[in-house]
Amino acid sequence: MVIERDTQYFMEYIANRFEEVLRVLIFIGNIAAIITIIVGCIMWLSRFDPNGGKRLLLYGVILAIIIKFLATLKLPSMIVP
Q: What's the pTM value of the predicted model, to 2 decimals?
A: 0.75
DSSP 46: T
Residue 11, pLDDT > 80, answer: yes
- Written as one string, the DSSP assignment of 19-30 is HHHHHHHHHHHH
What per-residue confidence (pLDDT) applies to 52? 92
Q: Are 75 and 23 in contact (CB under 8 A)?
A: no
Whole-number pLDDT of residue 78? 55
Please give the pLDDT value at position 9: 86
Q: What angle do CA 70, 52, 58 make, to 5 degrees?
A: 30
- pLDDT, tens only, 61-78: 999 999 999 888 776 555
15-51 per-position pLDDT tens digit: 888 888 888 999 999 999 999 999 999 999 998 989 9
